[in-house]
Amino acid sequence: MGGRIGFPGWEKKYYEEAKKLEVYTYSAESGEMIRGILAGESPKQVIKIYKKIGPCKCGANNPKLLETECMGDYDISITCMRCGRSLLRSMYDFDVKKPGGWVDLCIRDWNNGIDQKEIEAAKDADWERKRIKEEHFSWKPVHPNNMASNPLEGYYALLFKKQHDGKIYGCKWTIVFQLEEKDAMYIPYDAKVEAYILFMKRYFDLEDTFDYPEPETKDSPDDYYAGGPYDGVNDYGDFVRSYRTLEEAKLGAIGRCGWQGLHADTVIKNERKN
C-alpha cells in the first residue's frame, strides 16, 4: 500500500481516513488482519465503498466490513457490532457477474435488511433449479457387441456441455449388471443381478455430440457395428461405485454431474443422429 503513495486516490489524507474505518481485510496465507484496506481498491475507494453501507436494521451505525482472501478466493461480510446480524457474500455467489461484484451485492442486501438465512434459501433454490435431474438423462440399453440378441448387460447415458472454447465436453455414465456367480466364472443363465456397477467415461474437445447406433438385430456379425464416433458402447471407462439397486446407481450418476460441471443451464440436449 505504501508503494502506491502518489497515485490518485492513494494520497495520505485518504489513507489516514480509511485506517479509521471499520474495514478490515484478512489474508489466510499471511494470517494478517489489516485495517482500512480492501484488495485492489485505493484508500479513496475504500472510503467510498464504506460510505455506501447504511446502519443496521437494529439502528446501530458503523458495522464491520471484513474481506477474507484465501488462495485467490474472496468473500466479504458485514456484521453489526450491536445485534450481531451478519451477511456474507462470496465471489462464487450465483448472481455475481462482475469482478468484485460480491461486495456490491453484500452492501445492497445489507441495506435492504436481508438476513443470511434468506440468502442461503435463495442460493439453495438456485442450486436446486440448476441441478441435473432424472429428466436430463436418457438411459439406453447396453448389449455385448451392441447386438440385441445378446442379453441386456446394463444401461448407458450420455451428457454433453459446451466448453469455454466452443468445443464440447461429454460424459458417459454406464451401469453394468453384476450377476450372481455359482462358481468362479460360472454364471447360470437365470442368474440374479447382485450389484449395479456405475462407470464413467469423459470426452474432451469434441466437435459435436454423439450417440451409438441402436442395438443391432441382424444375425450376421458383419452387419453390426458397436462403435460410436469415439469408442464402443461397451467401453465403459472408469469404475465409480457399486450399488445394490438400479435406482441407487442412477441417482449416483445424477448426483455426480455437478462435479463434472454439468447442470441444467449448460447441458446440451443430445438427439440421436443415427
Shorter beta-carbon distance to Zn ion: residue 60 or 121: 60
Using CB under 5 A as the binding criterion, the count of chain residues that bind Zn ion stands at 7
58 binds Zn ion (CB under 5 A): yes
- Chain CA centroid to CA 51, Å: 34
From 78-86, 113-121, 195-203, 257-265, give the range in contact with Zn ion by CB under 5 A.
78-86
CA dihedral 198, 204, 209, 212 (to 10 degrees): -50
Shorter beta-carbon distance to Zn ion: residue 64 or 131: 64
Q: Where are the alpha helices (DSSP H) in the chain?
A: 12-18, 43-51, 101-111, 116-130, 246-256
d(CA 26, CA 35): 9
- Near Zn ion by CB under 5 A: residue from 1, 60, 125, 152: 60
81 binds Zn ion (CB under 5 A): no
- Cβ 24 to Zn ion shortest distance, Å: 18
Shorter beta-carbon distance to Zn ion: residue 15 or 110: 110
From 75-83, 138-146, 171-179, 240-248, give the range in contact with Zn ion by CB under 5 A.
75-83
- Near Zn ion by CB under 5 A: residue from 23, 44, 85, 169: 85
- Near Zn ion by CB under 5 A: residue from 56, 65, 176, 233: 56
Q: Where are the alpha helices (DSSP H) in 169-245?
A: none
Q: Where would I find the beta strands (DSSP E) of the chain? A: 23-27, 32-35, 64-70, 73-79, 86-90, 140-142, 154-162, 168-179, 193-206, 238-243, 267-268
* DSSP conformation class of 39: T
Residue from 73, 101, 76 nearest 86 by CA? 76
78 binds Zn ion (CB under 5 A): no
From 15-23, 74-82, 225-233, 249-257, give the range in contact with Zn ion by CB under 5 A.
74-82
- Near Zn ion by CB under 5 A: residue from 80, 87, 142, 253: 80
Shorter beta-carbon distance to Zn ion: residue 118 or 194: 118
Positions 172 through 211 that interact with Zn ion (CB under 5 A): none
- Near Zn ion by CB under 5 A: residue from 83, 121, 152, 187: 83
Q: Which residues pair with 166 in a beta bridge?
A: none
* Degrees, nearest 5: CA angle 183-189-192: 75
In degrees and rounded to multiples of 5, residue 174 shows phi and psi of: -130, 135
3-state class (DSSP) for residue 164: coil
From 49-57, 99-107, 159-167, 252-260, give the range in contact with Zn ion by CB under 5 A.
49-57
Shorter beta-carbon distance to Zn ion: residue 1 or 60: 60
Q: Which residues bind Zn ion (CB under 5 A)?
A: 56, 58, 60, 80, 82-83, 85
